[in-house]
Structure 1
Amino acid sequence: MVKPLFKPSDLNVKVSFTTIKTVTNPNNGNSVKKPVTLFTKWGAYKRRTINQQYTILGTTTEDSIVIGVRHDNSINKTLGITIDNVNYQILDISSDESNNYLTYDLITIKKVAK
């Protein structure tokens, strides 16, 4: 039997998957773009090894974070992520398409500059 990446008790971070929608400001009627939550999942931060940290130095993923969530086919790179009111963009998704009972997707994210 394959050991899962996370125990269910490790999933202690609420991850909101968002998309950008144009909504109308009720106060003045102007159109504003803002993230709208499509669905949420519980996730966990995944630590990188020292070797992995050295490998990504000087790349676009240097300041990124890796989180793990239960596998879901609806997760794709066009979605955004919000964790603790901080917006992130998805850089990469490593989906577990195996036939195991507990499968997780590892998602590399980077904070969106305001």
Structure 2
Amino acid sequence: MPKTVEYSPYLFNEIADFGVTKTVTNPNSGVNEPSFVKSFSLHVYPQKRTLDMQYRSLGTNYVNAITLVVRHNNRLNDQLRVKYKGEEYKILNISSDDSANYMTYDFLTLQNVKELGGNA
């Protein structure tokens, strides 16, 4: 039986907002602009990359990606956007653990929307 990784609760000391991007009319200019609309928030643990992970990501879409760890949550999907530390991110990959274990975690690989060319 594989050993499950347990993270201490104190590691999840940062908060990320999850939501969607909707078009909202700017009241000052009357122009339609994309805007982040929050659906829910979760405590997250920013996973640090190992040197091996850095080397493997070279030349891929994951070069500047970040990984956040959250407690397993069924509301997560790759259509959501994430607002973390004032930046908006697109979810590239969700490694979800939906096993019957007591403590399970999901690993979210995120790419900054600005690096994807705006509203990708």
> TM-score normalized by structure 2?
0.85
Residue matched to 1:55 = 56
Q: 5+ unaligned residues in a row in structure 2: which ranges?
A: none
Aligned AA for 1:111? N
Q: What's the offset of the Cα at 1:23?
A: 2.4
Q: Structure 2 matches for 1:1-114, cutoff 5 A?
A: 2-4=4-6, 6-113=7-114, 114=118
Q: What's the offset of the Cα at 1:100?
A: 1.1
Q: 5+ unaligned residues in a row in structure 1: which ranges?
A: none
1:46-105 alpha-carbon deviations (Å, 9 max, x no partner): 122222221111111111111101111111111110012111111100001111111110
In the comparison of the two structures, how many residue pairs are matched?
Answer: 113
> TM-score normalized by structure 1?
0.89
In structure 2, how many angstroms separate the alpha carbons of the residues matched to 1:33 and 1:51? Answer: 37
In structure 1, how many angstroms separate the alpha carbons of the residues matched to 2:34 and 2:77? Answer: 20
The percent identity for this pair of structures is: 37
Q: What's the offset of the Cα at 1:29?
A: 4.4
